[in-house]
Amino acid sequence: MPFDPARLRNGACPCLSGEQYIECCGRFHSGETDAPTAEQLMRSRYSAFAVLDSDYLLRTWHPDTRPAVLELDPDIEWRRLDIVATRDGGPLDGEGSVEFTAHYRSDGERGVQREVSRFLRIDRRWYYLDGEVG
């Protein structure tokens, strides 16, 4: 599904970094640069869900676990991302994990997704490997 700029609130990045989307996760989504850490990749993937950028999600998914197709639900409105903990995943690490809580609304109901995501760094690029939903 293509990027939907209408899903941005006042141009602010959905990952709640406090920056404008274009200067934050937008630069990763556009391919201008790659996320330098596992946490930044996780934030950019959350933002990709929020703006319905399935191409970016597939591009940053490890080939061993990536689905062939990814259909995003446009009725889900991702509202807030809380990073709970990170382990490794820095610019010089080969792997890392990010624990997060993502808040959303769907059909007028509030929901929460808790996950510990695992990431691998291959040829200086981070990839989402898998996650344990809690």
The Cα 72–Cα 129 span in angstroms is 19
User: What CATH number has the domain bearing residue 10?
Assistant: 3.10.450.50
Is the pLDDT at 5 greater than 70? The verdict is no
Model confidence at 55, in pLDDT bands (50, 70, 90)? very high
Q: Are 76 and 104 in contact (CB under 8 A)?
A: yes
Number of folded domains in the chain?
A: 1
List the domain range (segments joined by +) for residue 12: 5-133
| pLDDT for 44 beyond 80 | yes
Rounded Cα gap, residues 73 and 86, in angstroms: 27
The predicted structure's pLDDT at residue 8 = 73
pLDDT at 10 over 80: no
Q: How confident is the model at residue 3 (pLDDT cuts 50, 70, 90)?
A: low
pLDDT digits (tens, 9 = 90+) for 74-113: 999 999 999 999 999 999 999 999 999 999 999 999 999 9
Global confidence as pTM: 0.93
